[in-house]
Amino acid sequence: MSQSHENYREAQVEFLLEQAKKGEKEAFMEIVARYQQKIFILAYSMTRNREDSLDLVQETFMRLFEKLNFYRAGESFEAWLLQISKNLCVDFLRKQKSRRKGNTISLEETGAELPSEKEDPARFNPGEMIQKAVLSLPEKQRLVFILHHFDGLKYEEIAERLKIASGTVKSLHFKAIQKVRAILAPQLGGGL
């Protein structure tokens, strides 16, 4: 995707946001339609539950609606929206975990229960394993991993949308793969 096309896309989104701020319902609906699947991918990557993810998509846009006036033109809208959604997902996971255990724990602990193929072959599920491993990644690495592998975006596209350098995206991705590999080492067999 060319830089100029990306600029027009952003200009369009800014125009829609302005209209939505003025109370144009259709403009807001267009924003939801454009970004709902991206938010769903992020939510599902963190919860692995369809209904919870749909609730989180809805909650994200309700929060966006309340915060419309806080958006400053020129900033990356997508990065801002993903940040809102990520915060809601983290809160959701914390609440869910504390409901189960009766106390609050850190997000990293949520990815700590990985079944090994040898220990329990019936529970060995590659999708579940990678999802929990990704959950344990630091925030930026996790976002780059999700956008690249689950949303199918190229390094350059991620860089444009998050407004960071393409080299940084590559390096974050490399580190993420290394870390996921280390987390899954017992399941993959052999040492690190």
Which residues here bind another protein, judged by CB under 8 A?
4-5, 7-9, 11-12, 14-15, 18, 25, 28-29, 32-33, 36-37, 40-41, 44-45, 50, 54, 57-58, 61-62, 65, 73, 126-127, 129-131, 145, 149-150, 152, 173-174, 177, 180-181, 184-185, 188, 190
- Number of helices (H), then strands (E), belonging to the chain: the values are 9, 0
Our CB check for another protein shows the closer of 102 and 190 to be: 190
Our CB check for another protein shows the closer of 41 and 162 to be: 41
CA distance 37 to 13: 16
Tokens of 186: 């017992």
In the complex, the smallest distance separating the C-beta of residue 176 from another protein, rounded to whole angstroms, is: 10
Helical (H) or strand (E) element with 65: helix 50-67
Q: CB under 8 Å to 158, separation ≥6 — which residues?
A: 144, 147, 148, 169
Dihedral, 15, 21, 27, 33 alpha carbons, nearest 10: 100
Our CB check for another protein shows the closer of 8 and 75 to be: 8
In the complex, the smallest distance separating the C-beta of residue 92 from another protein, rounded to whole angstroms, is: 17
Our CB check for another protein shows the closer of 52 and 105 to be: 52
CB 163 within 8 A of CB 140: no
In the complex, the smallest distance separating the C-beta of residue 81 from another protein, rounded to whole angstroms, is: 13
Question: Shortest CA distance to 65 belongs to which of 42, 14, 31?
Answer: 31
In the complex, the smallest distance separating the C-beta of residue 105 from another protein, rounded to whole angstroms, is: 24
Our CB check for another protein shows the closer of 44 and 92 to be: 44
In the complex, the smallest distance separating the C-beta of residue 162 from another protein, rounded to whole angstroms, is: 19
